[in-house]
């Protein structure tokens, strides 16, 4: 069975919760990325410049929101079309930016883990469940595969 309407609904519903406090969840997301992979710090221009994670940095927020939002859009596409389609120019840009920043395939696993844990915290223990985790996980994986494939054209 493909990506269901229910799975799409679970992703949309939790994105609504994240949206209520982007500054907090962006920061939490980055803290988790660096907790899992401290070395990732040096790849982000806005993290290289400071000792601590900046509290209110527009670039940090932008990246977090892009990951949250594009994963949510992927969930919608998976349900509608059965696949994730990223606009050509966007995908090319994503390929270039990540290769240039030194991002490697395994980093996508780190970001996935941080994403899932951020959403789990946002939703709260009582409402969080495997179904929600798998829906986000699947949407993220398909998006990440598209970016990783594109990155192979930009070395
Ligand atoms: C830049 C999206 C995964 C590290 C960017 C940009 C976008 C983006 C749109 C351009 C700058 C911006 O608009 O903020 C995504 C999406 C991802 C993803 C949708 C996964 C689905 C990753 C991963 C890493 C990473 C796994 C590494 C841990 C970076 C870095 C930059 C960047 C270092 C440059 C930012 C800077 O230094 O200012 N990403 N990204 N991204 N991304 Fe990602």
* Distance in angstroms (rounded) separating the CA atoms of residues 96 and 99: 5
Q: Where are the alpha helices (DSSP H) in 56-129?
A: 58-81, 88-100, 105-123
CA of 69 to the centre of ligand 1 (A): 13
Q: How far is the CA of 5 from the centre of ligand 1 (A)?
A: 28
Per-residue pLDDT of the chain (155 residues; tens, 9 = 90+): 689 999 999 999 999 999 999 999 999 999 999 999 999 999 999 898 888 899 889 999 999 999 999 999 999 999 999 999 999 999 999 999 999 999 999 999 999 999 999 999 999 999 999 999 999 999 999 999 999 999 999 87
For residue 34, what is the domain's CATH number?
1.10.490.10
For residues 74 and 82, give the distance between their C-alpha atoms in angstroms, rounded to a whole number. Answer: 10
**CA-143 nearest atom, ligand 1:** 21
Task: Count the domains in the chain.
Answer: 1
- For residue 22 and ligand 1, the question of a CB distance below 6 A is answered with no
Structural domain that includes position 57: 5-151
Atom 15 of ligand 1, nearest CA residue: 67
Tell which one of 54, 66, 151 to mutate to probe ligand 1, the residue whose CB is within 8 A of the most ligand atoms.
Answer: 66
| Cβ–Cβ under 8 Å, residues 20 and 65 | no
- Ligand 1 centre and the CA of 89: distance in Å? 15
């Amino acid at each position: 069975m493909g990506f269901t309407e229910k799975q799409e609904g679970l992703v949309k519903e939790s994105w609504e919760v994240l949206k209520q406090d982007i500054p907090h969840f962006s920061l939490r997301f980055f803290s988790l990325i660096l907790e899992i992979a401290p070395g990732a710090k040096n790849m982000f221009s806005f993290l290289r410049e400071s000792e601590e994670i900046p509290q209110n940095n527009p670039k940090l927020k932008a990246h977090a929101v892009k990951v949250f939002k594009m994963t949510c859009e992927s969930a919608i596409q998976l349900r509608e079309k059965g696949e994730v389609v990223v606009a050509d120019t966007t995908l090319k840009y994503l390929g270039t930016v990540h290769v240039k920043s030194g991002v490697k395939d395994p980093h996508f696993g780190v970001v996935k883990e941080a994403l899932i844990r951020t959403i789990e915290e946002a939703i709260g223990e009582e409402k969080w469940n495997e179904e929600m985790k798998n829906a986000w996980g699947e949407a993220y994986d398909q998006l990440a595969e598209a970016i990783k494939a594109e990155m192979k054209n930009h070395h």
